Amino acid sequence: METVTWVVVAVAVLLAAAWYLSYSAARLDRLHAQVEGSLSALDAHLVRRAEAALELANAGALDPASALLLASAASDALERTTDRLGDDDLLEGQHFGGRESVESDLTQSLALALTPDIVADIVARDGLAADALDRLEAASRRVQLARRFHNNAVKDVQRVRGKTVVRVFRLAGHADLPQTVEFDDELPVLSAVAGPPS
């Protein structure tokens, strides 16, 4: 009788432990998927931002020097994107491949090229450039959102992966620990489409 009770207790404990392990693994898996999703969203919006910037540079609304500055920053950003999607990306899309500086450069070039006067001029003329400006604003806003949401997801993964059960049982497998993405994503000052009041 004694032995039977012990066996039952032991089996119950084992089952509970097994359930907890598989639950933790599933939770971690979901978090990893979320990080990958948010990173690819960030990537997509960055590409859109760079394309809109390139289009704006070529729309003839800027002076040649500003246009060149913007075009070169935008094409740098676009080039880095294709780099990262290559076969030698060993981190399976879980990191940002050192693109931070390129994206910060684009943000700063936008701030330099798009002074309030020039923006007002583009909006007033309402042509190809105004169209590109609209898309640039939308993409820049979404880049801001995507980066914040991605960093939230990364922090969740980092926290869960710090838990003892995850470390001891190696529930994360060989997946790299994702890192937050930090770069300057301030919106350019677009008078016509100012961000929400804060």
Partner 1 sequence: MRVGIVCPYSFDVPGGVQFHVRDLARYLLAAGHHASVLAPADDNTELPDYLVSCGRAVPVRYNGSVARLTFGPVTAARVSRWLSDGNFDVVHLHEPVTPSASLLALWAAEGPIVATFHTANLRSRAMQAAYPMLRPSLEKIGGRIAVSEEARRTVTTHLGGDAVVIPNGVDVAAFASATVDPRYAGTPDRPTVAFLGRIDEPRKGLHVLSRGFEEVLRARPGARLLIAGPGSVEQARERMTPSVAAASEFLGLISDADKARLFASVDAYAAPQTGGESFGIVLVEAMAGGAPVVASDLPAFVRVLQPAPGGEVAGVLFPNEDGANLGRCLVALLDDPARRADLRTAGHRRAASFDWSRVAKDIVAVYDTVTNTGGW
- Quick one: three-class SS letters along 163-179? CHHHHHCCCCCCCCCCC
41 is a contact residue toward partner 1 (CB under 8 A): yes
The answer to whether 121 touches 190, Cβ cutoff 8 Å, is no
Determine the interface stretch with partner 1 among 5-13, 94-102, 127-135, 139-147 (rule: CB under 8 A): 139-147
189/132 Cα distance (integer angstroms): 15
97 is a contact residue toward partner 1 (CB under 8 A): no
Determine the interface stretch with partner 1 among 6-14, 100-108, 116-124, 154-162 (rule: CB under 8 A): 154-162
145 is a contact residue toward partner 1 (CB under 8 A): yes
Indicate the residue among 48 and 183 with the shorter CB distance to partner 1.
Answer: 48
50/73 Cα distance (integer angstroms): 8
134/52 Cα distance (integer angstroms): 9
Determine the interface stretch with partner 1 among 23-31, 64-72, 108-116, 182-190 (rule: CB under 8 A): 23-31
75 is a contact residue toward partner 1 (CB under 8 A): no
Indicate the residue among 57 and 150 with the shorter CB distance to partner 1.
Answer: 150
Give the CA angle between residues 69, 77, 132 to the nearest 5°: 65
- Residue 88 Cβ, how far from partner 1 at the closest point, in Å? 19
40 is a contact residue toward partner 1 (CB under 8 A): yes
Query: Pick from 29, 148, 161, 179: which binds partner 1 (CB under 8 A)?
Result: 148
SS3 182: coil
158/179 Cα distance (integer angstroms): 8
Query: Pick from 5, 82, 164, 198: which binds partner 1 (CB under 8 A)?
Result: 198
Q: Which residues contact 57 (CB under 8 A, 6 or more apart)?
A: 66, 67, 68, 70, 71, 74, 113
Q: Which residues bind partner 1 (CB under 8 A)?
A: 27, 30-31, 34, 37-38, 40-41, 43-45, 47-48, 138, 141-142, 144-146, 148-149, 151-153, 155-156, 159-160, 194, 196-198
